[in-house]
Structure 1
Amino acid sequence: MLRRAILRGQICLLASLAVLLLWQLPSSGVVGLETGEQVTVSMNKVWPINNPTEMYPYYSLPFCTPPEVQTKYMTFGQIMRGDRLVNSLYNINYRENQERKPICERALSEDDVDAMRNAIENSYMFEIFVADLPVVRPLGIRTKENGQIKYWLVNNMDFNLGYNEGQVVAVNITTDVDLFDITQHKDGMKAQFSYSVNWFPSTIPASSRLQQQLAGSFTHHTQSLDIHWLAIINSFVLVLLIVSLLLLIILRVVRSDLSKYLHIPDEELTAGGEEESGWKLLHADVFRAPQHRMWFCALVGAGAQLFLMVIGTVLVGTSGLYLFERGGVLTFAFATFLVTAFLAGYLSAWLYRKLGGQKWAWNIVITAMMFVGPLFVIWSFLNSVAWAHQSTAALPFTTVIFLFFSWSCVTVPLTVLGGIMGRSNAAKWVDAGQAFPCKTNKLAREIPQCHWYHAPLAQMFASGFLPFSAIYIELHYVFSSVWGTKIYTLYGILLLTFVMLLLVASTVSVLLTYFHLNAEDHRWWWRSFGSGGSVSLFFYVYCIYYFFTSTRMFGFLQCSFFFGYSLLVAWGIFLMMGFVTFISNFVFVNYIYSRIKSD
């Protein structure tokens, strides 16, 4: 029965990955265009510039609408980003110029004018795709003439298209000529929408056309990018100094303790000639199972899964693979999260069995739900809000089915399979009496009263603040991309920042754990996890600060999305960083206690 279940899980895994890869394949509609062949032009969405995730379908505003609105091909990542590509009335042929030509004349009612005026007042932007190259332009402009505010609607677009190697390699759209005045509604008001097309040869290679198109809209200019690198390198040097000092302290103190202890003859240890002190007194209690070990192991397993997902995504972004494909990095992150569920189940069950846990089935279930559970609750609320506002941020029903299918047929079977293998592997060590370097007594040692700076809150504050101080510079650039329309491309800097975060968090946590054990308190399991997880608290506080100081977001939809998804990311950081610091402490504790002699 078990083999059949595993086989079914593998079949579901292959089917899901095949569907995902087919969904991600790029469209081939712009390959090898001949002169006169039609170029695909798609309309995407509209949104207020201050609320970039408050997205609406393009034809939700009174534009010229095709007789039949058809949805265009989109990758999984584009759908998750809120893109909703539909057909348009613009008829563009490859390398054929077109004089100004009307596409329709739209009668505007008073409600239509109010909707357009409100959109211009809130600085709405729209996005259009020409041969899969995106262009973002304002919906209109607001001017002030002789003390009177006037609203001008963009109704004419001049397409300037570059061609090379049989493809459209550059797109620029001029929208600031012959605007239509919609300041006041008039009886019989009609707006005529028109366009023109001008082709020119370009030297941009077809292979890098998307990169060049997006590069024109990046805000990271050369000078600011140099300053960005300089700030990160400066932080990296300071972090290395801090880590070096902390490691020097740990190595000198621990090596001193071990050398003094190991140079004592066995006769003196047996006769009691030298009394143990500090952390050495805890050899019979340091590997005692923590309270709520099932939940603790599930947290560790879920954190390991997120850690691998982040590492893989950052490395892919650094390599440039999928970097300029809209939603490509997001799709890769999703696929990585699915397949790394095996490690989550393995590590959680392995640790749970070593700690003497017996309810392994519940342990696997909780591990599988540890991140997905909060994700589903928050997403359900935010998706309902987006659906109520008729925003494209609400996922389509087919996408929801695909996500559930992927999780139930890939993540869950891999978690179960990893859990079975982890439990079996750990059982061999437990049966051989080698689960941990030291045996644990039945009765727990009395814990002495510690100083205030040994308290969990004090140590969590120190272990959270120092790592966060190493990454807060890069957070501003990440937030500008996540809560804006730009694609984040500085993955090299992000990788360097992530390495700094791991170094500082691990080093500070190990040092605090050593001080904690030296105070003769063996309860290090939850503290080691919480020391890294406390970074998430500073992250969420920074999110609140960023919202009120660097954004002009407003409205229930945007605020709920910002704080809801920020809370979800903070929970993911808690799991991931908790896993990192726990593993660092686990290796450290196993090392020092495997070097001492105990009965």
Structure 2
Amino acid sequence: MVNKVYSDHTQLQYAYYELPFVCPPTGQSHGAGLLSGQSIPLNLGEVLRGDRITTSDINLQVSHDSECNILCHQNITRADLTRAKSMIEDGYVVEWIVDNLPGATSFVTVDKTRKYYAAGFKLGYTEISGSTGSPRYYLNNHHTIVIRWRKAPGSAGEKGGKVVVGFEVYPKSVGAHSRNSNTGCPKDLQNVEENFELYIPPIREDVAHKYPDSSYIMADNEIGEDGATINVPYTYSVYWREDETVEWSNRWDLYFVNQEDGSHIHWVAIANSLIICALLTGMVLIIFAKTIRKDIKAGYKESVLEGGKRRRRSKPHSPKRSGEKLGGMLEQPDEAATSDSSSDEDALEDVTGWKLLHSDVFRTPQYGYLLAPLVGSGMQLLFMTLGLVLLSAVGVLNLSFRGGFISVGVGLFVFAGTFSGLFSAKVFKSFDGRDWQKNAFVTAILFPGLAFGLIFILNLFVWAQASSTAIPFTTLVGMLVLWLFIQVPLVYVGAWAGFEKTAAWEHPTKATTIPRQIPPQAWYMKSVRSVLIAGLIPFAVIFIELLFMFNSVWQDKSGYYYMFGFLAVVVVILMVTVAEVTVVTIYVQLCAENYHWWWQSFAVGGGSAVWVFLYCVWYYFARLHITGFVSSLLFFSYSFMACCVYALLTGTVGFLSANAFVRRIYG
């Protein structure tokens, strides 16, 4: 099978058979009812990641070596040649597939003890001319295919069955002088006399006609179509090699041998994250075990606010017993009574900070009708994320299931609409909301609608580039159907259950009519500053894992990220860290007598998304080599969408944690 070409320098992928300078499919039958050029049915994830898998004309016969096969002779024009040069300059890599394994280039580690694969192989390469200093472009037009196999396990192997454990492709550029004139095959692949250069001589007459008074010589790509072509001979060799060192179940491991050295970095990162999490846990325990426990014992309920002054409830006087001496002016006061009075006064002096907000802390926030749908969408994303990480960590989602991660993710997101509606309705009901159907509509439309609209706009730019990265129109319609006819009804079902069938989160205290005046806040407690400062801690927890994920997604376009065990641990630590950071931040805010904690808890929880996006900007300029407006637009748009998803997810965790914390201390 042939799939696509992709590059680290651009986000635009192209289907292999859409390239004008490769051999087009002949439509011949290859057995099992497959015709060359026939597209293979793809799942949703494969389509969204830009796969376009098609049967090729390359024949593979098990255990039959073939030293040379002529695939085709392809004539390409100046325009085709210009496009080939551009793609070679951008470093495009080709992906072919055998038995679900991507064709790979084989390498050996520096110490020559291990072998590993790099998915794909180069379309061509460039060299700088020694005489002119300009680049010269060479096309890889011969491919040596090595299929590594071993005996099938179990009874199938006893019957002569074989399984593929490796697929290697070694491309070469072979010019006309290095080919046998009779067969068209290379004379000697080990000693190629001449490489195949992409070059069509310019037409001097045309240059002289356009520039009669100038000695300027036009470049190849500056001359229009004149009917000139160049013939590209494509050939391939096939070799089958038995390899008993690789188990079929572990055949993907070779693609990750060069990444194994990063394991100790993961362990160091996890240890660092655990230390941060432990320090935060200690802070939260101190707050609960000492400060709040002491405050609750002092009892803010024993104090009442009247006219802005504290007043202690007086205790009834008990009559004197007979024979008890009446106190006179010179009589010393009773020590016990004095002690009790002093302790009461001390307790009253402790009625400050967060205890003064019991009549305002559960006041309905502004724009609560928007906060509730955001929390609902965050729960939907949280369910999807935890499901994906869990399924990947246990091995249900693996590399052999092409596009499975995206397909299952879309499915989990759609069916998690029930959780979205449920939690959105409960939060909305706690804000004294009445119209739950309107809230359900906003929840079902808000985030999916914004995401779908942005994807559709980006798709217009990619469609204009004729790239396979563009989502087909039929797929967009299918996603629209999933959204409107499955996810939206599920949101309504969850909202109905959350509003009508479950109890609301009752507030421990009631809000007064007149809101309390908030005193001036310290500089670090300002809304934006506290969000940025608090967001640094969760970002420090995930920083190292972000680097590995970014390398997999943006640099290694094959997208073979596999350390889901580490990722699962980091996700758990991240959730705990976000919850604890939010609790500490909100407690400090309440102690400063600021009761606007609803939106603040959501913002603090998602505050690290700002740092993640800034990291994306740094990564773009420091680590990537992306060129072109469309590719840059795709990078920043996808990064922004990912950060929004992350902010919704962590913001929801922060909101629910702060909500539980505030209810606990005021309950």
TM-score range, shorter chain: 0.7 to 0.9
Deviation for aligned residue 1:500: 2.6
In the other structure, the counterpart of 1:34 is none
Instruction: Using the aligned pairs only, state the percent identity.
Output: 30
Aligned residue among 373, 379, 388 for 1:298:
373
Deviation for aligned residue 1:234: 3.0
Match of 2:147, SS?
Answer: strand
In the other structure, the counterpart of 1:383 is 459
Deviation for aligned residue 1:262: 8.3
Match of 1:181, SS?
Answer: coil
In the other structure, the counterpart of 2:650 is 577
Q: Deviations over 1:340-378 (max 9, x none)?
A: 111110111112112211222111111112221220121
CA shift in 2, pair 1:510/1:188, >3 Å: closer
In the other structure, the counterpart of 1:83 is 51
In the other structure, the counterpart of 2:142 is 156
d(CA) in 1 for partners of 2:650, 2:229: 63
Match of 1:221, SS?
Answer: helix
In the other structure, the counterpart of 2:234 is 193
Give the CA RMSD over aligned residues: 2.4
Conserved 8 A contact 1:44-1:127: yes
Match of 1:92, SS?
Answer: coil
Q: Deviations over 1:89-136 (max 9, x none)?
A: 111122222220101111232222222222222211111111221111
Deviation for aligned residue 1:326: 2.3
Aligned residue among 397, 400, 407 for 2:473:
397
In the other structure, the counterpart of 2:196 is 181
Range with greater deviation from structure 2 (268-277 or 251-260): 268-277
Over alpha carbons, which structure has the higher Rg? 2
d(CA) in 2 for partners of 1:253, 1:184: 79
**Unpaired segments ≥5 residues, structure 1:** 1-41, 595-599
Deviation for aligned residue 1:242: 3.9
d(CA) in 2 for partners of 1:333, 1:561: 21
**Unpaired segments ≥5 residues, structure 2:** 28-36, 104-119, 153-161, 176-194, 202-227, 305-310, 316-343
Q: Deviations over 1:397-447 (max 9, x none)?
A: 221122112112221111000000100135x55xxxx72222232332333
Conserved 8 A contact 1:158-1:175: yes
Aligned residue among 532, 541, 551 for 2:624:
551
d(CA) in 1 for partners of 2:356, 2:8: 62
d(CA) in 2 for partners of 1:438, 1:106: 80
Aligned residue among 342, 356, 361 for 1:286:
361
Read off the aligned partner of 1:465 and give its amino acid letter. Answer: L
Matches within 5 A, 1:126-165: 126-135=94-103, 136-144=120-128, 146-147=130-131, 149-164=135-150, 165=152
- Is 2:106 the partner of 1:110? no
CA shift in 2, pair 1:397/1:183, >3 Å: closer
Deviation for aligned residue 1:219: 6.7
Matches within 5 A, 1:406-417: 406-417=482-493
In the other structure, the counterpart of 2:106 is none
Deviation for aligned residue 1:239: 3.4
CA shift in 2, pair 1:448/1:231, >3 Å: closer
Conserved 8 A contact 1:143-1:150: yes
CA shift in 2, pair 1:157/1:280, >3 Å: same
Conserved 8 A contact 1:341-1:412: yes
Conserved 8 A contact 2:280-2:581: no
Deviation for aligned residue 1:162: 2.0
In the other structure, the counterpart of 1:72 is 40
Q: Deviations over 1:19-64 (max 9, x none)?
A: xxxxxxxxxxxxxxxxxxxxxxx1111123322x310121232111
Range with greater deviation from structure 2 (157-166 or 550-559): 157-166
Q: How many residues align?
A: 543
Conserved 8 A contact 1:150-1:181: no
CA shift in 2, pair 1:515/1:224, >3 Å: closer
Deviation for aligned residue 1:147: 4.2
Match of 1:559, SS?
Answer: helix
Read off the aligned partner of 1:311 and give its amino acid letter. Answer: L
CA shift in 2, pair 1:354/1:246, >3 Å: closer
In the other structure, the counterpart of 1:259 is 297
In the other structure, the counterpart of 2:392 is 317
In the other structure, the counterpart of 1:19 is none
- Is 2:84 the partner of 1:43? no
In the other structure, the counterpart of 2:269 is 231
Deviation for aligned residue 1:295: 0.4
Conserved 8 A contact 1:378-1:565: no
Read off the aligned partner of 2:314 and give its amino acid letter. Answer: A
In the other structure, the counterpart of 2:31 is none
After TM superposition, the runs of 4+ consecutive aligned structure 1 residues lying more than 6 A away are 262-266
Deviation for aligned residue 1:264: 6.9
Conserved 8 A contact 1:371-1:572: no
